[in-house]
Amino acid sequence: MQKKSTFKRLMQNQAAPLVLILIVLLIVTMILSSGVTQGAPVSAMFTQGFMSRTNLRNFLYSIVIQMFMACGIGMLLISGNIDLSVATQASLSVMIFAWLHQNTPLPWIVCILITVGVAICMGCLSTFLVVKLQFPAFIATIGMSSIYRGLCSVMTNGYNITISDGPYLRTGRLMVGGVVPLLFIIALAFIIVFQFILSRTNFGRSVFMTGGNRAAARLAGMNPNRVILILFIISSIMAAFGGMAWVANIGTASPTSIIQDAPDMSVISASILGGISFMGGAGNLIGSLIAILLLNVLENMMNVLGINPYWIVFAQGALLTLALAINFVSEQRARRKLLMRN
Amino acid sequence: MEERSLELRGIGKSFPGVRALDDINFKAEGGKVLALLGENGAGKSTLLKIINGDLHQDEGTVLVDGKEVNFTTPQDAINAGISIIYQERQLLPFMSVMENLFVGDLPKNKFGIIDKGKLRSETQRIIDDFGLPISPDDMVGRLNVAHQQMIEIMKAYRRDSPIIAYDEPTAPLTDTEIEILFKIIRKQKEEGKVILYVSHRLNEIFEICDDIVILKDGKYVKTLHTETTNEKELITAMVGRDIGDTYANLDRNTEFGDVVLELKDLKTPYIHDINITGRRGEIIGLAGLVGAGRTEIARAIFGVDPITGGQLIVDGEEVHFKTPHDAINAGIALCPEDRKYEGLILFRSIKDNISMPVLDKLTFSRFFVNFKAEKELAEEAVQKFDIKTPSIDKVLMELSGGNQQKVILGRWTSSKLTTKILILDEPTKGIDVGTKAEIYQNICNLAKDGLCVILISSELPEVINIADTIYAIHNGHITGTIKREDATEENVLTMAMLD
Ligand SMILES: Nc1ncnc2c1ncn2[C@@H]1O[C@H](COP(=O)(O)OP(=O)(O)OP(=O)(O)O)[C@@H](O)[C@H]1O
Ligand SMILES: [Mg+2]
């Protein structure tokens, strides 16, 4: 067997084409948004438009919630499950947190802990439906999602809760080096830690094995049900974190805004685009992160170009469909080969 | 009737790191059954996949009836009259027998709606030809593996293709179904069809085949004729050496220790009043027909099926396992019969598959996988069972069937498992004759190390020649017990048919 060149090997990495597209998109966006095409000096690329402090900060803030969610959703997908209630869970968590923060004298840390406690219950509930009652994860979590959405509105009769200025908002808005939100760094740390867990620990291995073949994993002494429980709980906690990060940035908890923004859909697209198999058993979170950056830079670029926001939604939908199609075709091919194996 | 033929000229095929086939030439003629024989990984399945367009050869040509063909998908091959029965089933488990048989080709009435009546009657006709106790409306997933395999065979039978290739069709079958299959093959042969037949069971090859093409390491060795050859010559040609009398040469364990396993009137929904005693160093054989309840006994011991009555005693203490994990911790290992659905994670590497049950023993601070120890464990298994692979990182789906089976044996006999009781359910399924001998010796060695081994096999000679004590199972009951010295195929079979 001949040795492949380093370049070839790099290109065979599933994330490689994504990184390339991301870099190209980034450069195009930087050029278009900074007015270089209208005669501004080339150096403006790095200081104006997309790269301006405000825009960069807003951009990073806007993807924090997706990054949190990508941890839970990504690992659930790898284990052969899915959680479609993540956005509504985030929404409900936010409402609970905001209510506690505004209406009780509890310190903000305690409010966060209580919210996380509620999230853990939501994760257990999903697991109960999926593992004990054996509902397909897809159906169980869609059902739960409408319940959570209803609860969100019921809590405040549909009104928003504004978070009063205080240590919570101040901490949530801390910047590192002037442009990078602390929350972004926290989210990044979560992705890296979870990726480490996935690839290096025996728990991570059992996530892959559960997704690869649940029955076989069980017969080999692993505990797929416990894996699924832990993953649903992680997913719910990450949703709550994402929601609370969102509120720290916006300053107002609304029962509908997260749901309307549908960050979970972007995250599912990004996960698939980033190489997580829709049928479970394969993938990694770094790919999801790159895909999240890609999708959001794309959105930013279309905004700069003044494209109708509806088209942006359309473009994202098209990308998801494309990613799914590619994933599906290659999976099908692999599965077919597998079926033919002897 | 025109003469049918299938000819291969100079076929070559490479996979990353493996030369699977190299300059293969032979011709199969209508009205004859041609066997393909070779060790695990010799390239038999790859060859069949090239013939039916599932893979494309790197070099060479395939000729059907003297004309060159170039298929790009298996559907092309089906249209051109080539059907292959893969060993791994490709059925739709939630569909009925008739829907599975006619999938892709359902009979329609003049409104374009599926003609259920015709579908049912055609299916019934095929079932009658086979003489099997199933009905067109049975859900396939509910049938036992042997009957599922027969459905796979019926699918090809229904298409009435002039060229049919069987890839280890009998691996999940028992004698009853094998007899039916041979009746069908003889009929197809009389009709002048070209038949290719892959199997590791030499007695079948002598019974049903006319010519034998021997492959070794992807190369054509020679063609022998069943009339003029014998087992010894076949094995020497395929393994490259004489392996002698497998059973007589076994170095067995003769000393049994204390009782480690006791089943007392054990009941689950599938088995009734099972009494078995196993001592250290003893090999217990479970003989019976498919569906007799042998696998179900294994599942009860391993904590898979719920125990509804009686006692399970391990090392003198009554145990109640809730999950296989509990059973593994108590020193029990089960190598399952269905490697594809219950055993392997096909998309993961050899290393990952082997370390599964002992992963928590291969860690730093209980949490982080010790990749070096894991690698050593996998390499140990690759050596012990001579698994043909360029590396332990190869994913399972790229291994040949027999090598996949060796991976699963490697998993359950690894040195990190503290096994006291090892249950092997059809351990030699799809394994070539040469390796089989080694596996038998391996089983005996495990017994020498003090393990109590429970051996389940549909190959009767295997059970009665390796096990020290043989239990005949029928309908979920034990119908007889016999020592190896007294066991013959006839008396064990008679007991296994008793009610
Ligand atoms: N898709 C694949 N990718 C890489 N290697 C493959 C692939 N399919 C088969 N091989 C390799 O090709 C060789 C021949 O495999 P093949 O399945 O044809 O063997 P076989 O003769 O059918 O063996 P067995 O008796 O075990 O079924 C093996 O070394 C196998 O690992
Ligand atoms: Mg094969």
SS3 B302: coil
- Distance from the alpha carbon of residue B199 to the mean position of ligand 1, in angstroms: 15
Give the count of Cβ contacts less than 8 A between chain A and B: 107
Per-residue pLDDT at A187 exceeds 50: yes
- Give domain status of residue A340, yes or no: no
User: What are the structure tokens assigned to A133, written together?
Assistant: 């009652």
Domain assignment of residue A264, given as a range: 55-326
- Give domain status of residue A74, yes or no: yes
- Give domain status of residue A29, yes or no: no
Strands B5-15 and B18-29: antiparallel
> Do B310 and B203 sit in the same domain of this protein?
no
- Give domain status of residue B254, yes or no: no
Are B280 and B452 in contact by the 8 Å Cβ rule? The answer is yes
> Do B219 and B176 sit in the same domain of this protein?
yes
pTM over cut 0.80: yes
Per-residue pLDDT at B476 exceeds 60: yes
- Distance from the alpha carbon of residue B321 to the mean position of ligand 2, in angstroms: 36
> Do B318 and B184 sit in the same domain of this protein?
no
Q: What is the pLDDT of residues A215-247, one digit of tens each?
A: 999 999 999 999 999 999 999 999 999 999 999
> Do B186 and B296 sit in the same domain of this protein?
no
- Distance from the alpha carbon of residue B52 to the mean position of ligand 2, in angstroms: 14
> Do B264 and B235 sit in the same domain of this protein?
no
Rg (CA), chain A: 21
Flag the least confident range among A227-231, A337-341, B388-392: A337-341
Average pLDDT in chain B: 90
Predicted confidence at residue B289, as pLDDT, reads 79
Per-residue pLDDT at A181 exceeds 80: yes
Res. B245 pLDDT band, cuts 50 70 90: confident
Average pLDDT score over residue span B347-361: 93
> Do B179 and B328 sit in the same domain of this protein?
no
Taking an 8 Å cut-off on Cβ atoms, the answer to whether B411 and A222 are in contact is no
Q: Where are the alpha helices (DSSP H) in A14-166?
A: 16-34, 53-78, 86-103, 108-127, 137-156
CA distance B115 to A301: 55
To the nearest 5 percent, what fractions of chain A are helix, strand and coil? Answer: 75, 5, 20
- Give domain status of residue A33, yes or no: no
> Do B38 and B146 sit in the same domain of this protein?
yes
Per-residue pLDDT at B34 exceeds 50: yes
- Give domain status of residue A10, yes or no: no
Domain with residue A255: its CATH number is 1.10.3470
Res. A2 pLDDT band, cuts 50 70 90: very low
Per-residue pLDDT at B428 exceeds 70: yes
- Give domain status of residue B372, yes or no: yes
ipTM exceeding 0.95? no
> Do B377 and B269 sit in the same domain of this protein?
yes
B210, B239, B268: which is the final residue of a domain?
B239
Q: What is the pLDDT of residues A306-316, one digit of tens each?
A: 888 788 778 87
> Do B452 and B378 sit in the same domain of this protein?
yes
Domain assignment of residue B59, given as a range: 5-239
Partners of B336 on chain A (C-beta within 8 Å) are: 219
- Give domain status of residue B454, yes or no: yes
Average pLDDT score over residue span A294-298: 89
Partners of A276 on chain B (C-beta within 8 Å) are: none
Predicted confidence at residue A3, as pLDDT, reads 45
Find the angle CA(A215)-CA(A216)-CA(A217) to the nearest 5 degrees. Answer: 90
Res. A8 pLDDT band, cuts 50 70 90: low
- Give domain status of residue A12, yes or no: no
Per-residue pLDDT at B390 exceeds 70: yes
B180, B209, B239: which is the final residue of a domain?
B239
Average pLDDT score over residue span B242-261: 85
- Structure letter (DSSP) for residue B87: S
Per-residue pLDDT at B113 exceeds 60: yes
Residue owning tokens 């996988």: B369
Per-residue pLDDT at A261 exceeds 90: no
Number of domains in chain A: 1
How many residues does this entry show for chain B? 499
Per-residue pLDDT at A111 exceeds 70: yes
Q: In percent, how much of chain B has pLDDT > 90?
A: 61
> Do B15 and B82 sit in the same domain of this protein?
yes
Average pLDDT score over residue span A178-184: 91
Domain with residue B83: its CATH number is 3.40.50.300
Partners of A337 on chain B (C-beta within 8 Å) are: 54, 397
Q: What is the pLDDT of residues B134-178, one digit of tens each?
A: 999 998 888 888 899 999 999 989 999 999 999 999 888 888 899
- Give domain status of residue B251, yes or no: no
CA distance B449 to B384: 16
Neighbours of A320 (CB within 10 A): 18
Predicted confidence at residue A10, as pLDDT, reads 53
> Do B420 and B286 sit in the same domain of this protein?
yes
Predicted confidence at residue A312, as pLDDT, reads 78
- Give domain status of residue B249, yes or no: no
Number of domains in chain B: 2
**B172 lies within 8 A of chain A by CB:** no
CA distance B352 to A198: 13
- Give domain status of residue B246, yes or no: no
- Give domain status of residue B252, yes or no: no
**A215 lies within 8 A of chain B by CB:** yes
Per-residue pLDDT at B266 exceeds 80: yes
> Do B20 and B140 sit in the same domain of this protein?
yes
- Give domain status of residue A341, yes or no: no
